[in-house]
Structure 1
Amino acid sequence: MPRRHLPPPPPPAHLRAWHDAAVLQDDRARFLTELARHSLGLTRLLLLWSAAAVFAFGWSFLGMALMSFEQGDGLGLLIGGAFAALGFGVLVPAGFWFAWGARRDREVRQLLCAWADSEPAGNDPAAEARLRAPGRSLGWLLSSFGLCAAGLWVSFGSAASARPDGDTYGEVAYYIGLGMILWITGLLGAGKAAAHYRWALRAFTGPGRRASR
């Protein structure tokens, strides 16, 4: 999501009087809808899952490295070193990609807050109601809870079913790490959905509606 594809920030307060109020309101509704789609759309969820898949791919190389190191011979150390290099070669760029995505999320959130504060809450109830996105938030929450459950099952299930004569420490560590990746991805998705919904409720609750509650 390059920066040029994001909507511009709202005009400063001292310049808004020079703009047509109807045009500003239309821009606010359109830009808030676009920013909400960037923040909580299906594409953003797929990007989060893609980042998790890349982390899991890199971790699989590290898991194979641990299993190779456990052999204790020279060939195992050599193969383990190659797998470890491949694993870090995948995980390091994935970490930069994740940091880039987090920075973009912060930019989207700042623009959302700026455009939401550009007018008093309640001026456009229909547009503000859509921005709460209860359907998308629920979709994020359910899918994220599914990932959390799968991650916990993989982590604790592999540790509980491990047998000293059948499983190596490298295999157990690999499955625990894979489960942690799924669990953390689910937590991030659930937290993002809950944070967006909470923000929308706070940002678009006007004084009149607070008084009526």
Structure 2
Amino acid sequence: MERGNDLSLSWESYDTTKDYIITYLLYQEGKSIELIAKIRNMNVERVKKQIILAKSEAISLKEQDKSMLEKMLEISKTERIKMISRMPSKDRKTLAREIYYGYNHIRNAEDKMILIWIIGELRIKELVHIVYKDIKHPHGNVRRMVCSAINKIGDPKGIDSLHKALLDSKPQVRQYAAKGLGKIGDEKSIIKMKRLLGNPNEKEYVKNAFYEAINHIERRLENS
């Protein structure tokens, strides 16, 4: 049996009134199963069963110690959606705080995308500003998610980031930038997208996004 270093715990941190915990702590000290069997006056099979039981409990405790953000990064998108939809206000604030302090420490692009998606789903304007700098992220899907989050939250301070994204090398990023500008864009946004419509190499679905965004902005400005 292998020893999991990440499950090492001290005598003080365990409930030693549980018989199997005592067996496990002896095992963690480096004693062989055969020696533990002699010390504890039990057969080898019982020692093995007690160690497995204690390991399961240790893993369970470790899971409980994970932050809300760590759990969110490990589950599927469907599970995240359910978790956010059922999340009470107190937990939403806790998650937002964990994202705020943990955002800059996330280097993996996949995790960064999930983080930005969560920010968009939480709809917290005070949080969206931390994603603006990633409009220049080397991973195209991260940049796309930034545009998506700005669109969901509808923060006018994100207009400059979306304007930059209109010139992105990835067509999907340009498309998502247009969608965001349809919600928060201004006269300058209209001018920029009309100019880009003249590009003969632009993808048709991106041009359609430009047209739709321009119409949305014009109607919004007329009614303001």
How high is the TM-score relative to the length of structure 2?
A: 0.25
Q: Which has the larger radius of gyration?
A: 2
Q: Relative contact order (alpha carbons < 8 A, sep ≥ 6): 1 or 2 greater?
A: 1
Structure 1 or 2: more helix by fraction: 1
How high is the TM-score relative to the length of structure 1?
A: 0.26
